[in-house]
Amino acid sequence: MELEYDVVVVGAGPGGSVAAKYAAMAGCSTLMIEKRQEIGTPVRCGEGIAKRWLDDVGIEPSKKWIANEVDGARIISPNGTILTVDESRAGNECGFVIHRDVFDMTLAQQAASAGAEVMVKTSATGIMREDGRITGVRARSMGREFNIKSKIVIAADGFESQVGRWAGINTNLKPKDVDSCYEYTLVGVDIDRRYTDFFIGNIAPGGYIWMFPKGNDIANVGIGVQTSKIKGPGEAKMYLDRFIQKHPEFSKGKPIMEIAGGVSISPPLERTTLPGLMLVGDAARMIDPVTGGGIYNACIAGRIAGEVAGRAVENADYSQKMMDAYEKGWRDRMEEHLYRNYLMKEKISRLDDATFDRLVEAMTKVDMKRMTTLDILRAIQQKYPDLVKEFEEFM
């Protein structure tokens, strides 16, 4: 069996579905393949997203996938000092707490409604190449192996991505550039559903603990720790359990879900394209290295990739020069922020608890317009220049 499409998208996460939608909208015959049997399941996510970007990728907020709308975020330092930030000024994980499975399914539905075909239980197992150009993928479904020929391949196959590697792109990550995550969904917790909470300090070496409220007494409570700072992935759970035990508002909760997973906290890949190939979202290491959030960047990059695929097919041009339009498009939009936050992550991961306390305390006393790392540093610099001296290079 051999299938043939203009565009094949590997992976039906947010990045893949948005890419498939925009490729189909541009008139390309598009197939999205997903190795899992049900899109969006099992969930491996804190489920926090901001509101303001949804419009950019044609997503209407919907009660179907919004579990809770929050007013803002609270950053809690090791000594308990709380900085409260309004939702509109907080980062990309604050605004809605979502049902990620329904969210992912909704995006896949949008792709299908735009004309893309979707095949679940179908894994890419290799790539096809002709004359130095990627010309499709090898796939396996229900025990059958077949080729899917395509003019463009969009690889949105997530953190454990293989398509880029098969094509010869270096996607390796160093242990210090990976966070090991563990999360419980706890029912019966005593929380304020108006805020997402971020606990920082050495309770989570090189990362943080989050509480994303899904309702009055239900929340995702999770941790990300820098892999280079722990002996094995089990240690992330140990740090989280220790934290929960010390917080009666969480320890009274009963877990109804437990998940483990990895996120890249690296700079984005130096190359995300080859003739006929574009890498999107986690596969291209587009996760924010400070927050570990990646849904937003995956969707934005997915849109740009889908649109470039449309132009490539229209002009029958699958060359590197055409793919560079994608490379430039996503880099213009997010690269500077990702690099700055990568350098910031490197510094933050070396701070001690006393410095975290001083920083958060200083942040409560200055007027911040937004919660980007740069805005935070600039605001602190005005009042407490000595405190941000070692961060001056970022400003």
The residues binding ligand FAD (CB under 6 A) are 10-16, 33-36, 44-49, 93, 123-124, 156-159, 162, 181, 183, 222, 259, 261, 263, 281-283, 287, 292-296, 298
50 is in an annotated binding site: no
Q: How far is the CB of 388 from ligand FAD (least distance, A)?
A: 27
294 is in an annotated binding site: yes
**How many Cα atoms occupy the beta-carbon half-sphere of 74 within 13 Å?**
19
Residue 287 or residue 322: which is nearer to ligand FAD going by CB?
287
Q: How far is the CB of 394 from ligand FAD (least distance, A)?
A: 23
Residue 181 or residue 380: which is nearer to ligand FAD going by CB?
181
Place of tokens 């596969």: 283
CB 275 within 8 A of CB 318: yes
Q: How far is the CB of 136 from ligand FAD (least distance, A)?
A: 13
Phi, psi angle pair for 201, to nearest 5°: 120, -170
95 is in an annotated binding site: no
Q: How far is the CB of 109 from ligand FAD (least distance, A)?
A: 15
Residue 107 or residue 376: which is nearer to ligand FAD going by CB?
107
Both structure tokens of 353 = 């608890």
Helices 373-383 and 320-348 meet at what angle, rounded to 10?
40
282 is in an annotated binding site: yes
Q: How far apart are CA 380 and CA 362, in angstroms?
A: 6
CB 111 within 8 A of CB 34: no
Q: How far is the CB of 73 from ligand FAD (least distance, A)?
A: 12
Residue 329 or residue 379: which is nearer to ligand FAD going by CB?
329
Q: How far is the CB of 390 from ligand FAD (least distance, A)?
A: 28
45 is in an annotated binding site: yes
Residue 227 or residue 381: which is nearer to ligand FAD going by CB?
227
Residue 42 or residue 385: which is nearer to ligand FAD going by CB?
42
Q: How far is the CB of 179 from ligand FAD (least distance, A)?
A: 8
* CA 205 vs CA 78, 175, 199, 342, 395: distances in Å: 12, 13, 11, 16, 25
15 is in an annotated binding site: yes
Q: How far apart are CA 216 and CA 187, in angstroms?
A: 9
Residue 66 or residue 380: which is nearer to ligand FAD going by CB?
66
Q: What is the dihedral of CA 282, 287, 293, 297, to 10 degrees?
A: -80
46 is in an annotated binding site: yes
181 is in an annotated binding site: no
What are the residues whose beta carbons fall under 8 Å from the beta carbon of 49, sequence distance 6 or more? Answer: 92, 93, 95, 96, 98, 293, 295, 296
Sign of the CA dihedral with 330 first, then 332, 333, and 339 last: positive
125 is in an annotated binding site: no
CA angle, 226 as apex, 220 and 232 as ends, to 5°?
90
CB 46 within 8 A of CB 198: no
| Annotated binding-site members | 15, 34, 45-46, 48, 100, 124, 282, 294-295, 373
Residues of each annotated binding site for FAD? 15, 34, 45-46, 48, 100, 124, 282, 294-295
